Amino acid sequence: MADPTIGDLPGGIAKPPAYEASQDHRAVGAEPGAGTIAQSPAGRLLAGPPLQRGVAEPAAGARSRRPRRPGVWAVFWAGIAAIVAGVGLHIQEFMTGHDARYQMAGMPMDPHMYLAMALIVAGLGIDVWALLRASKGGEVRRARTRVSAAPTRPAIARTRLVTLVVLASAVSIDAMKPFTFSFVLPGAAKEYGLTTPVHVVPGSWPVSLYPLAGIAGTFLGALIWGKLADHIGRRHSILLAAILFIATSICGAMPSFGWNLVMCLIMGLGAGGLLPCAYALIVELVPEKSRGTATILVAGAGTAVGFLLTSICASLIIPKYGWRPMWFVSLPTGLFLIALNRYLPESPRYLAARGRHDEAAVVARRYGLSGEPRVAQAATAPAPAAAASVMPTVVALLLCGLGWGFINFGLITWIPTFLTSAGASAGGVTHTITNASLLAAPMSVVTAYAYRRSSWATVAGCATAVAILLGLLGVDSKLATDSGHFTIFLFLLFSGLWGLLGALTPYCAELFATTRRGTASGWVSAATKLGGVVALVMAATSIQPPGMAGAAVLGACPLLVGALLLLFRPVETSGRPLPDEATFAEAVAHLA
């Protein structure tokens, strides 16, 4: 079924007078008895600005029409075609290097490559214009006053499942980007003559600049795309990230290391921006009873599949073609995500916040989020988090994200170096880490169950568990010398880390109203990347903490402080309505 925000969407559905009257006194987050909170600065941050009013009602019996813009999406696909053509020319240029064993270092940029880059830049500009234009609404082909019968429960369940599978695919595609570095760094260091932790090349750049450019891009992307999601919509922001994946796949054909860094930085913008948009969309499409479970399972399954696909691609590509084509994989995966956009709706809450109530009502009905029962449920449900509790909670989540990033991109990256310098074999270390990762992958199911019981306790529990484990490693670094014990340790560490990552952004998204949800999700997502930036800057400047114990303590400190803040003032979101639930339910109830 095609996405109703692109076509076949009713745009002029008459709303009863009771609905219009109900809007005169409702605002986002204005729950009964919360008037004094909503007037405070923290209350306004939690609730966001009031929902915009819908368009004027058509006259009785009239068939209203919204502006037709079928050309917008034709222009969008024309931009995609230009980008694909540009990437194809770069791949063709790469394939001519068969005699040089597909090494391009030092190769001059020929006219074909300049033409290809011009096509990509033009295609990006066209697609950005098309998405901005489409985000204003009006891409509806035909408006009708009559609405078809409400979907059945099995139909709603199928619709939700398909969308969650698409979003899990998006998470997998996004997760492939950082995992790819693990496979391309050795080949890139050899081709460009870069300095590595085990091989210093006098006067050369450190290879750690490569992942540093990527992780810096993800940090900026999380902040920028979080804001974009609140302005142009979750769906269009995800599509824009996918377009960047396609365009920056030419990273594999860049002759100079400097151009590789630039492309990697731009690729990171899309990779960092996709996750907060995807998580915000899940939170807004799934009812509160299943919201946390769905988000964490999507995060866990998507990350595991992304790691698996990257490993398979590396085993098939690198032995024959080298490290460069690993970046070309972004072309088919990005196209795959864009091709699935018909199953990716715009958030009905975002549409309602933009005054597009009729469109919001249709999407909400497809996902079982509309109707008078929802109004009654929202009116009687427990009130959302008090505004005074929000900012300490956000600070706690930022600290947990910072600690997670430092551990994931720092300590875990340094573990092989620490162990090999202590006499362990590189193969044995890799085997231990791989086994622990495989054992920890199914633990996302446990995290999802815990999150369904209590959101804040799951975040605090994962952060505390990881901090305790790191404290044990800091006290007794000899723990890493026993292969069996260290495998168990890493299994527990990875379980806590991945559980924490899966719960952080969704929890933050549930604290804020629709008009602030994308931005807030971007904050926490950016914090996880900032910890990685700190760790990789230390690696690039040859600064390392005093051994494994020092690295463990540095990572444990922000996690412990964040967990204590959550314990000091817990805010429960599991099974609770979102801050603007009552207003949204009324906005879409007229379609029931």
Q: Does residue 448 share a domain with residue 399?
A: yes
Report CA 205 to chain centroid distance, whole Å: 31
Whole-number average pLDDT of the chain: 77
Task: Supply the pLDDT for residue 236.
Answer: 93
Q: Does residue 314 share a domain with residue 418?
A: no
- Selection from 1-5, 27-31, 135-139 with the highest mean pLDDT: 135-139
Q: Does residue 563 share a domain with residue 418?
A: yes
Average pLDDT over residues 316-325: 89
408 occurs within a structural domain:
yes
428 occurs within a structural domain:
yes
* Residue 106 in this model has a pLDDT that exceeds 90: no
Q: Does residue 403 share a domain with residue 353?
A: no
Tell me the sheet residues that pair with 196: 199
Picking from 157-171, 363-377, 496-510, which range would have the lowest pLDDT averaged per residue?
363-377
Q: Does residue 205 share a domain with residue 173?
A: yes
For residues 384 and 584, the answer to whether their CB atoms sit within 8 Å is: no
Higher-confidence residue of 60 and 476: namely: 476
Q: How far apart (Å, rounded) are the C-alpha atoms in residues 360 and 355?
A: 9
495 occurs within a structural domain:
yes
Picking from 140-144, 188-192, 398-402, which range would have the lowest pLDDT averaged per residue?
140-144
483 occurs within a structural domain:
yes
Provide the number of structural domains found in the chain.
Answer: 2
Q: Does residue 391 share a domain with residue 360?
A: no
Higher-confidence residue of 99 and 500: namely: 500
Q: Does residue 331 share a domain with residue 392?
A: no
Residue the block writes with tokens 């622990």? 436
The encoded tokens of residue 15 equal 């709303």
List pLDDT tens digits, range 138-183.
443 333 334 455 677 888 889 999 999 999 988 888 888 878 887 8
Q: Does residue 436 share a domain with residue 475?
A: yes
Task: Supply the pLDDT for residue 418.
Answer: 67
* Residue 26 in this model has a pLDDT that exceeds 50: no
> pLDDT tier at 466 (50, 70, 90 boundaries)?
very high
For residues 525 and 327, the answer to whether their CB atoms sit within 8 Å is: no
Q: What is the CATH number of the domain that holds 563?
A: 1.20.1250.20
Q: Does residue 451 share a domain with residue 348?
A: no
* Residue 502 in this model has a pLDDT that exceeds 90: no
CA distances from 290 to 158, 193, 502, 515, 589 (A): 14, 51, 15, 22, 21
Q: Label residue 55 left, alpha or beta by phi (over 0 means left) and psi (-120 to 50 means alpha).
A: beta
Q: Does residue 488 share a domain with residue 393?
A: yes
Q: Which domain holds residue 530?
A: 387-568
Strand extents, DSSP E, 3-78: none
Q: Does residue 416 share a domain with residue 318?
A: no
521 occurs within a structural domain:
yes
536 occurs within a structural domain:
yes
> pLDDT tier at 68 (50, 70, 90 boundaries)?
very low
Phi, psi dihedral angles at 34 (to 5 degrees): -110, 20
96 occurs within a structural domain:
no
Q: Does residue 342 share a domain with residue 451?
A: no
- Selection from 27-31, 108-112, 357-361 with the highest mean pLDDT: 357-361
Average pLDDT over residues 577-590: 69
* Residue 569 identity: R
Task: Supply the pLDDT for residue 505.
Answer: 85
* Residue 342 in this model has a pLDDT that exceeds 60: yes
CA distances from 516 to 276, 300, 355 (A): 12, 25, 16
Cβ-based neighbour number of residue 98 at 10 Å = 9
List pLDDT tens digits, range 262-278.
999 999 898 888 888 99
Q: How far apart (Å, rounded) are the C-alpha atoms in residues 538 and 405?
A: 13
List pLDDT tens digits, range 212-266.
999 999 999 999 999 999 999 999 999 999 999 899 999 888 888 988 999 999 9
CA atoms within 13 A on the CB side of 56: 4
**Residue whose C-alpha is closest to residue 509's, from 559, 589, 455, 465:** 455
296 occurs within a structural domain:
yes
